[in-house]
């Protein structure tokens, strides 16, 4: 889904909730100010992003998006990195829009999500350079490329990876992980996430892209047995 087709999903927020729900939504869009020593972002654009996420994601995926920010921030702190918290927050909160019924399509889900976030931020008159950074953070979060980029981009993939596959306890304390999960419970994440991804592939087979090198390895290289992502998710240390 490109350009005009994706634009059909807009406007994002105007008229998207039942009449009389505005006050309730505003309250719901407020996150705890601090979790595991990480301060959440409460700017106007951050609140609008949270509102969009709550309107669009199922609850388990919303919690994953917030945990992605918290785990990404904890990783950045452990590495002594300096980063723009608002940019990282926006990219993390919006990074799975491409998995939702509203924004999924034939492009890889991370590109679908990046495009959706771009439209949302442009409609909100967000700074152009910031839009580009958020786009990169979302588009690269499932790729090894992202880890070589600036922290606002790299930490999206780092945070999501921790929440999906498990943390490196040499960088993040077990007590911090427990506090993050207590604040934003996993809600059966392992099973629900894989099921959601499967539903996207079922509806949009062309979105299931991967490296051509893996295709070649599976067909022509004897004893080539790459890890299956589903197995890695099931083996993660979270006790759900």
Residue 14 is part of a domain; what is its CATH number?
A: 1.10.3210
Q: Running DSSP on this structure, what letter comes out for residue 49? A: H
Span 2-7, mean pLDDT?
50
Per-residue pLDDT band for 18 (boundaries 50, 70, 90) equals very low
Determine the Cα–Cα distance for residues 50 and 30; give it in Å rounded to an integer: 8
pLDDT at 164 > cutoff 70:
yes
- Give yes or no for residue 5 having a pLDDT over 70: no
Task: For residue 182, tell me if it sits in a domain.
Answer: yes
The more confident residue out of 235 and 6 is: 235
In a domain, 240, yes or no: no
Bridge partners, residue 35, by sequence:
38
Q: Which of 99-108, 129-138, 182-191, 204-213 has the lowest mean pLDDT?
A: 204-213
Q: Say if 81 falls within a structural domain.
A: yes
Cα–Cα distance measured from residue 197 to residue 27, given in angstroms and rounded to the nearest whole number: 30
Residue 42 lies in a domain: yes
In a domain, 216, yes or no: yes
Asked whether residue 239 is assigned to any structural domain, the reply reads no
Domain with 58, as residue range(s), is 3-234
Quickly state the pLDDT bin for 216 (edges 50, 70, 90): confident
Q: Are 207 and 196 in contact (CB under 8 A)?
A: no
| 143 inside domain | yes
| Confidence band for 30, pLDDT divided at 50, 70 and 90 | confident
How many beta carbons lie within 10 A of that of residue 222, not counting itself? 5
| Among 68, 83, 71, residue whose Cα is nearest residue 174 | 71
Count of domains forming the chain: 1
Residue 175 is assigned to a structural domain of this protein? yes
């Amino acid at each position: 889904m490109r350009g005009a087709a994706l634009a059909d999903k807009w406007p994002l927020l105007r008229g998207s909730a039942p009449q009389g729900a505005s006050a309730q939504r505003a309250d719901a869009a407020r996150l705890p100010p601090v979790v595991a020593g990480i301060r959440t972002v409460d700017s106007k654009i951050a609140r609008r992003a949270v509102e969009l996420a709550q309107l669009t994601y199922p609850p388990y995926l919303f919690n994953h998006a917030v945990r992605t920010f918290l785990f990404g921030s904890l990783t950045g702190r452990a590495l002594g990195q300096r980063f723009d918290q608002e940019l990282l927050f926006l990219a993390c909160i919006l990074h799975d829009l491409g998995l939702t019924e509203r924004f999924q399509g034939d492009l890889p889900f991370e590109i679908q999500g990046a495009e959706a976030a771009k439209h949302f931020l442009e409609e909100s008159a967000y700074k152009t350079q910031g839009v580009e950074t958020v786009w990169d953070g979302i588009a690269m979060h499932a790729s090894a490329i992202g880890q070589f980029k600036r922290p606002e981009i790299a930490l999206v993939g780092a945070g999501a990876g921790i929440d999906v596959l498990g943390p490196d306890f040499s960088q993040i304390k077990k007590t911090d992980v427990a506090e993050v999960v207590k604040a934003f419970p996993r809600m059966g994440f392992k099973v629900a996430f894989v099921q959601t991804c499967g539903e996207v592939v079922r509806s949009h087979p062309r979105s299931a892209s991967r490296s051509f090198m893996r295709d070649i390895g599976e067909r022509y290289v004897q004893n080539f047995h790459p890890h299956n992502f589903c197995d890695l998710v099931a083996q993660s240390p979270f006790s759900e």
